[in-house]
Amino acid sequence: MRIEELPTPALVVDLDALDANIARMGAAWPGTKLRPHAKAFKSTALAQRLAGAGHTAFCAATVRELAGLAAAGLGTDLLLANECVDRGRLKALVDHVPDARVTVAVDSPETIEAAAAAGVREVLVDVDVGMPRCGCRPDDAGRLADLARSAGLGVRGVMGYEGHLMTEDVDQAGKVEEAMAVLLDAHDAVGGDVVSGGGTGTWKKNHWVTELQAGSFTLMDTHYEAAGVGFAKALSLLLTVVSVNGTGGWAAADGGLKALGMDHGNSTIDGATVWYHADEHTVFSMDDGAALPRVGDRVGVWPAHVDPTVSQHEQLWVHQAGEVVDCWPIDLRGW
Amino acid sequence: MRIEELPTPALVVDLDALDANIARMGAAWPGTKLRPHAKAFKSTALAQRLAGAGHTAFCAATVRELAGLAAAGLGTDLLLANECVDRGRLKALVDHVPDARVTVAVDSPETIEAAAAAGVREVLVDVDVGMPRCGCRPDDAGRLADLARSAGLGVRGVMGYEGHLMTEDVDQAGKVEEAMAVLLDAHDAVGGDVVSGGGTGTWKKNHWVTELQAGSFTLMDTHYEAAGVGFAKALSLLLTVVSVNGTGGWAAADGGLKALGMDHGNSTIDGATVWYHADEHTVFSMDDGAALPRVGDRVGVWPAHVDPTVSQHEQLWVHQAGEVVDCWPIDLRGW
């Protein structure tokens, strides 16, 4: 089957581009030096492809993502790179996948207590390295590590996400070094052998972590492309043109706000200008006097932000040069 | 169970506010003069509540929404208020719910051909009344009606969505009148007894349609609230605070871009300022020197746009004064 025959809206993945992205990242961060972030792609089938390339340690943002990875046999070394105080959910995870190695990020007495009560065995101390979100004060990391150990938890090391620097264009290298200096100081106080951090935007600039947390590099989006991170866009949204207004000079295709993450603005179409997205439409005009498409034509849309695009779909249609070769369920959606 | 006991992120519906919204709309647009738009809430259980209030004719934006409504016994009068050229999907709909009355919007020879080939029996001619999206040229409506009739389709009338005027604040009434004058002219050329249009934003200003297409009024959002449409916000996203930074003055809760439609900007929290949403976080500070919440506290977030918020969730938790009284699956998601 050709991708043109798929019902739309359809999220399609260019397998060769994906594999090239994985190979490129793997050359710099081989094996478990890369900890792929499942939140970006939410598919155990895509995770299996990463594991096949040697990247067998994963991180995720939700307990459900971790549980799904473990159930798919990918539980060698799973990190919840996020805080959680839902003991019931954590306990269900640990109880259901007793053979999996599960590590959880903690940044407060409450998150330590929740992990210990749930039967989690290992943690990383999450440190605020400059982005206002989660992470303890750097000078509090040692105290929290002691607290965790006294609660019976193994402390594997630290984690710190320099998310505010992912698309920084003024002295990114210097700012990443400063942020990681904070993390390494905290690591001195915490101990353990793991320093986890980074992302697709800093894969070439972060020389201090022992493992890189990155997921977007696999499928990519226009936001990271504009930042010049050096991976190819492997994900697009295939739509069908359902209405054409020759007088007004626009066309409307059959997918929009419910199929695309919108926090990075509109998605793009090669050779066209997107006017706006509505719930189930993308309205666009053609550039440089090119002819409008016809009703029934297909059009490919490049998402602006991969993570909240993927999470709105049920499957990824995998193709090579337009020929559909697989269908991967987006089986890690929801909470 | 109290809503505070729900696992988060949880989309919760204030049943009393919802019922008041339905009653208020029903007083102005009783029975089938209102054609509730299922795209806003994507739940057959919520649709049943509308049907119970006498609103038994629905419209929707996707074939799957229509199929789900029909399967739930709500097939008395279903309108696909959108263009579709997917004959296979249209045919499956018609074949699976032979007892349902299914009407489809058409605005081109291609959409008419698809409807006829799929076995659809009735159509509305969709007319462009000023918003660049779907709809034929007004002066082409009569020709398309003739074409539809010659293809064996019953033509019930016209539809025209003045979506560009939903939150218009300069002479909304006059502009709606102008847009509807265009639709009524087209109706003269088309015939039939249906003039379908309008929405939550024009429910008090559109005096020309025979039936109002509105869905957002049920659950509401901050965007429509700011426009002063006169319904109460019945939908909120319940989150758990997972990290608090007393030094920096912010807190992070456990839901974000994957739980909220973002095209109308950030969501809001009463008494707080939302700094930003990340994939699985909402970061905020408190207003007027109020104390930050504690880790484990719950916080309610008001979505900015109801439709692409609901579509990201699996269920609506229904409550009265905080007591959970029902759980409605969001069973019309996807395509």
**φ, ψ for residue A40, nearest 5 deg:** -75, -35
State pLDDT tens for residues A94-150: 998 889 999 999 999 999 999 999 999 999 999 999 999 999 999 999 999 999 999
User: How many CB pairs below 8 Å do chains A and B form together?
Assistant: 154
Q: Answer yes or no: do B243 and A107 touch at CB < 8 A.
A: yes
Distance from the Cα of B33 to chain A's closest Cα (Å) equals 24
Q: Say yes or no: A8 contacts chain B, CB-CB below 8 A.
A: yes
Distance from the Cα of B246 to chain A's closest Cα (Å) equals 9
In whole angstroms, what is the distance from residue B317 CA to residue B329 CA?
A: 9
In whole angstroms, what is the distance from residue A145 CA to residue B151 CA?
A: 74
Nearest neighbour of A243 by CB, restricted to B134, B295, B311: B134
Q: Answer yes or no: do B84 and A254 touch at CB < 8 A.
A: yes
Give the mean model confidence (pLDDT) for residues B74-99: 96
Distance from the Cα of B106 to chain A's closest Cα (Å) equals 9
Amino acid in the structure at residue A294:
R
Q: How far is CA B74 from CA B29, B55, B287, in A?
A: 19, 10, 46
Q: Which of A233, A215, A243 is nearest to A58 (CA)?
A: A215
Q: Answer yes or no: do B281 and A133 touch at CB < 8 A.
A: yes
Which is it for the CA torsion A64, A66, A69, A70, positive or negative? negative
Q: Answer yes or no: do B82 and A7 touch at CB < 8 A.
A: no
Q: Answer yes or no: do B279 and A61 touch at CB < 8 A.
A: yes
Residues 256-315 of B with CB under 8 A from A: 257-258, 261-263, 275, 277-281, 283, 294-296, 305, 307-308, 311-314
Q: Which residues are paired to B245 by β-bridges? A: B250
Instruction: Indicate which of B12, B263, B267 best probes the interface with A, i.e. most A CBs within 10 Å of its own CB.
Output: B263
Across A75-143, the runs of DSSP E, i.e. the strands, are 77-80, 102-106, 122-126
pLDDT score for A234: 98
Under the banding of pLDDT at 50, 70 and 90, the label for residue B98 is: confident
* Residues 6+ away with beta carbon under 8 Å from A79: A35, A57, A58, A59, A60, A103, A104, A105, A124, A159, A196, A213
**φ, ψ for residue B194, nearest 5 deg:** -110, 130
Q: Answer yes or no: do A86 and B7 touch at CB < 8 A.
A: yes
Q: What is the ipTM of this complex?
A: 0.98
pLDDT (tens place) for every residue of chain A, 335 residues total: 999 999 999 999 999 999 999 999 999 999 999 999 999 999 999 999 999 999 999 999 999 999 999 999 999 999 999 999 999 999 999 998 889 999 999 999 999 999 999 999 999 999 999 999 999 999 999 999 999 999 999 999 999 999 999 999 999 999 999 999 999 999 999 999 999 999 999 999 999 999 999 999 999 999 999 999 999 999 999 999 999 999 999 999 999 999 999 999 999 999 999 999 999 999 999 999 999 999 999 999 999 999 999 999 999 999 999 999 999 999 999 99
Beta strands A315-320 and A10-14 are parallel
State pLDDT tens for residues B47-71: 999 999 999 999 999 999 999 999 9
CA A25 to chain centre: 14
Give the mean model confidence (pLDDT) for residues B164-182: 96
Distance from the Cα of A22 to chain B's closest Cα (Å) equals 22
Distance from the Cα of B84 to chain A's closest Cα (Å) equals 6
Instruction: Reply yes or no on whether the pLDDT at B97 is more than 90.
Output: no
In whole angstroms, what is the distance from residue B263 CA to residue B202 CA?
A: 21
Residues for chain A: how many in total? Answer: 335
Answer for the pair A49, A22: CB distance below 8 angstroms, yes or no.
yes
Residues of chain B contacting residue A294, judged by C-beta atoms under 8 Å apart: 110
Give the mean model confidence (pLDDT) for residues B154-161: 98
* Residues 6+ away with beta carbon under 8 Å from A309: A11, A221, A235, A237, A259, A260, A261, A303
Q: Answer yes or no: do B307 and A89 touch at CB < 8 A.
A: no
Residues of chain B contacting residue A263, judged by C-beta atoms under 8 Å apart: 257, 262, 277
State pLDDT tens for residues A252-288: 999 999 999 999 999 999 999 999 999 999 999 999 9
Distance from the Cα of B24 to chain A's closest Cα (Å) equals 25
pLDDT score for B121: 98
Q: Which residues are paired to A104 by β-bridges? A: A80, A123
In whole angstroms, what is the distance from residue B262 CA to residue A277 CA?
A: 12
Q: Answer yes or no: do A245 and B137 touch at CB < 8 A.
A: yes
Distance from the Cα of B25 to chain A's closest Cα (Å) equals 22
Region of residue B67 (phi > 0: left; psi between -120 and 50: alpha; otherwise: beta) = alpha
Residues of chain A contacting residue B82, judged by C-beta atoms under 8 Å apart: 242, 254, 280
pLDDT score for A97: 87
% of chain B exceeding 90 in pLDDT: 99
Instruction: Indicate which of A242, A282, A285, A311 best probes the interface with B, i.e. most B CBs within 10 Å of its own CB.
Output: A242
Beta strands A211-214 and A235-245 are unpaired
Q: Say yes or no: A64 contacts chain B, CB-CB below 8 A.
A: no
Q: Which residues are paired to A160 by β-bridges? A: A197
Answer for the pair B70, B78: CB distance below 8 angstroms, yes or no.
yes
Answer for the pair B305, B261: CB distance below 8 angstroms, yes or no.
yes
Answer for the pair A245, A253: CB distance below 8 angstroms, yes or no.
no
3-state secondary structure of B149: helix
Residues 106-125 of A with CB under 8 A from B: 107-108, 110-111
In whole angstroms, what is the distance from residue B1 CA to residue B5 CA?
A: 7
3-state secondary structure of B217: helix
pLDDT score for B72: 97
Q: Answer yes or no: do B252 and A83 touch at CB < 8 A.
A: yes
In whole angstroms, what is the distance from residue B113 CA to residue A39 CA?
A: 42
